[in-house]
Amino acid sequence: MEINLPMLANQPFLTGLAERHLKVLMEHSMPAAFKTDEFIFYEGDPANRFYLLLEGRVSLESPVEEVGGFRSGAVQLQTIGKGDALGWSWLFPPYYWHFDARAITPVKAIFFYGTALREQCERDHGVLHLRPNSRRHRPPKNFPVGIGGGGSSTRSCGAVGSRSSGPRT
């Protein structure tokens, strides 16, 4: 699979982005695939990327630990699928995953280098604005004001780079 401008332009989450913004995303992306039950990321690991799901389903989970620190299972918090964005923690300090993400079917996705995108946005606040086109593609309402919850329709990487309070996913 090759990542190209028409492919990105057809992603529901990216609808309406200018070609120059799609080019920035394309420069910082690559194909990704995960097998059923493969973990995409773990709670507590550095959050340096995000994904747009092309096929398959992913479970966001909170691990449950037994005495002694060994995992005994997980509580499923949400299931996402085709067209959804996975991984918001790369936008918010301290840049660590707050949940596990596990493929519950085979998954094909576009991997984006979140750290590089965030750094580019911090250098040039106008370089990229994410405009979710439906409630399905927005972070939860309880995100800090100005990031996209609470009715805001635009999130700017530059605007969120200094936020450090509030819930994270």
Task: Place 55 in a pLDDT band, splitting at 50, 70 and 90.
Answer: very high
Segment among 5-19, 45-59, 114-128, 147-161 with least mean pLDDT: 147-161
CATH topology of domain 5-120: Jelly Rolls (2.60.120)
pLDDT band for position 97 (cuts 50, 70, 90):
very high
Half-sphere exposure of 11 (CA within 13 A, CB side): 27
- Domain boundaries of the chain, sorted by first residue: 5-120
Q: Is the pLDDT reported for residue 46 higher than 50?
A: yes
Higher pLDDT, 81 or 137: 81
| pTM assigned to the model | 0.73
Q: Give mean pLDDT, residues 128-145.
A: 43
Over residues 131-153, mean pLDDT: 37
User: What would the 3-class secondary structure string for 92-129 be?
Assistant: CCCCECCCEEEECCCEEEEEEEHHHHHHHHHHCCCCCE
CA–CA distance, 56 with 99 (Å, rounded to integer): 19
The Cα–Cα gap between 101 and 163 comes to 23
Query: Can you give the pLDDT at residue 128?
Result: 57
